[in-house]
A and B are shown apart, each in its own frame.
Chain A
Amino acid sequence: MAGTYFDFEKPLQELQEQLDKARETHEKGKVDMSELITQLEGKIEATRKEIYSHLNGWQKVQISRHPERPYSLDYIEHITSDFIELHGDRNVKDDKAIVGGFASIDGETVMIIGHQKGRNTKQRQYRNFGMPNPEGYRKALRLMKLAEKFRKPIITFIDTPGASPGLEAEERGQGEAIARNLLEMAVLKVPVICIVIGEGASGGALGIGVGDRVLMMEYTWYSVISPESCSSILWRSWDYKEKAADALKLSAEDMLGNKLIDGIIREPLGGAHNNPEAAFKAVKDEIKKHLKVLKAMEPDELVTTRVEKFGSMGVYVEG
């Protein structure tokens, strides 16, 4: 059971506290609380269902950032075997905000690449909060080219608050690094599946996000800017993040409705952190399902279809 509750989960937290108390009393053996416990468990389930049936954009953003949410390495550990991590961009250094390497999914070799966040303060710093520098994108591209060379499909996990904004990032060409990935990914001759598992913030996300299938997990977000930054720029205040989240239409449902992604991966009730095993299974099933289709396509057909898909995105009036 997750230990961190959001504001909108307050009723859940209260029920959980009651349940914990009841269990404690019951275990001490003084009073038989089993009836109350069953009752509370049912109530928790019903309340969670009720809360999660009508989440707004900002609430989904919060869930996507839940500190116990599975990260790329968690998915890699649980849905693949024989993961061999490959480091470095062969140029500057190894960026810890992006991990990648070959792994096996039920006997099939794939290249897996993902943003990586940290779980505690030390790890967060080590991973630079999942914000890659140019060398991270260049490492990702190097690994994708390797996969292409050996004709292995590519899976990317997207989970970043954005590409790192800093002196060194600019010196080493953050813009160029992302741009190069967009160009190269568009014409990779192997299947590419991209899955937003948490935060999909702007160019930092798209930099490993050009695929034949772009999928979002149910409680994630993907847009051109974070709701907070959008609020600060358009409303000139940090207080309009909820409004901004709605205006940006950044949820998986909206993104699918606007045909900017190809599918949604349903999460267990209460979010992936609430039942990681179920989340791992859902992701693995989706990967296998799409790989089967994509592997049957000729390399040139993959490229043409991919370029056409991104080429058709946009809404404008002609005439």
Chain B
Amino acid sequence: MEFEEEDSGDKPSWFQRVRENIVTKTKDKKSTPDGLWEKCPRCKAIVPAKDIINNCYVCTQCEYHVKIGSREYFSILFDNGKFTELDADLSSGDPLEFTDTSSYVDRIRVSQSKSGLKDALRSGTGKMNGMPVVIACMDFGFIGGSMGSVVGEKIARAIDYGRVHRMPVIVISKSGGARMMEAAFSLMQMAKTSAKLALLAKEGVPYISILTDPTTGGVTASYAMLGDFNVAEPEALIGFAGPRVIRETIGKDLPKGFQSSEFLQEHGFVDFIVKRYEMKQKIATLLAMIWDKKAK
């Protein structure tokens, strides 16, 4: 999806008329189906859903980046939203027969029917401004975007696909970390994905990690931090230990902006921060500058 540049100056608020006699020419009127309004979770402005979608799910009023999933990211990044999904039929086993307050099998089933997803990550291959790429994207809506065997395996395969076909690999992270219900199996996905990235690097194929809100725990401590380029969306929470754990450990409130994208860039762990509606263009430009499929 291409971003439609908007004039951000002199925008009327929704509840206050700042100019008299506003007249919209018929051709400028946007036809919005009834009931399709979105309330921005941050500034509370009521905005036509279509405007938000056209703005890559960024609030047109306050630039808040709405939390979105793989479906939306694929539509934003792949040319015309077209892609071929990879390993779509992978779903979770229950290697430990894990049960806490409910059984893992039930949690998976509920999450699947609620989200319409098989697990917390989808991957696909398609073109970005004409360049073939592999994109894997996490879905926070599926058990907190937690990384278990399926997420790890799909990332590993996406990386292998990029290595074999010599296509840049992009992983969009949004995760609470490793999935507890697969315990050490989840832990080992960190080693597995990182090992695969080492092989990709040996072949000189680019890897871009996109960090979105939130990216924490075992995901931060593996593929999310290993990009040739670590790219973050604005104001995302990115860290290893969660803020609550750190607060409890040090017994103090955390400084403002701690573990934000801006904080990470300031401390040297993020190459650049990009607004979602500029993401595709900027990454495609960067890749076009450095990547020549035939070169080795």
- Interface residues in chain A, defined as those with a beta carbon under 8 Å from any beta carbon in chain B: 163, 165-167, 169-176, 178-180, 182-184, 186-187, 202-203, 206-207, 209-210, 222-225, 230, 233-235, 240, 243-244, 247-250, 255, 258, 260, 306-307, 310-311, 313-319
Contact = CB atoms under 8 A, between A and B. Distances in A.
A182 B239 contact: no
Given A183-B195, A183-B198, A258-B95, A169 B240 contact: yes
Contacts, number: 196
Interface in B147-190: 148-150, 152-153, 156, 178-180, 182-190
B272 to A, nearest CB: 16
B245 to A, nearest CB: 5
Given A179-B194, A306-B195, 13 more contacts: A174-B240, A179-B226, A202-B218, A206-B190, A224-B186, A225-B178, A235-B100, A248-B180, A311-B156, A313-B185, A316-B91, A316-B149, A319-B89
B62 interface: no
Contacts of B254: 167
Contacts of A180: 225-226
A114 B64 CA distance: 44
A212 to B, nearest CB: 12
B223 interface: yes
B103 to A, nearest CB: 10
B183 A314 contact: no
B130 interface: no
Contacts of A224: 178-180, 182-184, 186-187, 218
B224 A166 contact: no
B269 interface: yes
Contacts of B190: 178-179, 182, 203, 206
A186 B189 CA distance: 13
B90 A179 contact: no
A179 B223 contact: yes
B267 A171 contact: yes
Given A166-B246, A170-B246, A247-B98, A182 B194 contact: yes
B221 interface: yes
B287 interface: no
B240 A182 contact: no
Given A165-B241, A179-B225, A317 B92 contact: yes
What is the predominant secondary structure among interface residues of chain B facing chain A?
A: helix
A55 to B, nearest CB: 19
Given A222-B184, A307-B198, A175 B240 contact: yes
A248 B96 contact: yes
Interface of B: 89-96, 98-101, 148-150, 152-153, 156, 178-180, 182-192, 194-199, 201-202, 217-218, 220-226, 239-241, 245-246, 249-250, 254-255, 258-259, 267-269
Contacts of A172: 267
A310 B259 CA distance: 30
B195 A167 contact: no
Contact of A307 (B96, B195, B221, B241): B195
A221 to B, nearest CB: 10
A237 B103 CA distance: 18
A178 B195 contact: no
Given A165-B249, A315-B93, A317-B91, A183 B197 contact: yes
Given A170-B258, A173-B225, A316 B150 contact: yes
A84 B202 CA distance: 33
Given A174-B240, A235-B100, A316-B90, A202 B197 contact: no
A206 B191 contact: yes
Contact of A234 (B101, B218, B220): B101
A172 B269 CA distance: 9
A183 B226 contact: yes
A113 to B, nearest CB: 17
A16 to B, nearest CB: 35
Contacts of A260: 184-185, 188
A203 B250 CA distance: 20
A319 B118 CA distance: 11
Specify which of B94, B153, B199, B240 lies most central, judged by the most chain A CB atoms within 10 Å of its CB: B240
Contacts of B183: 223-225, 247-250
Contacts of B95: 258, 315
Contacts of A311: 156, 192, 195-196
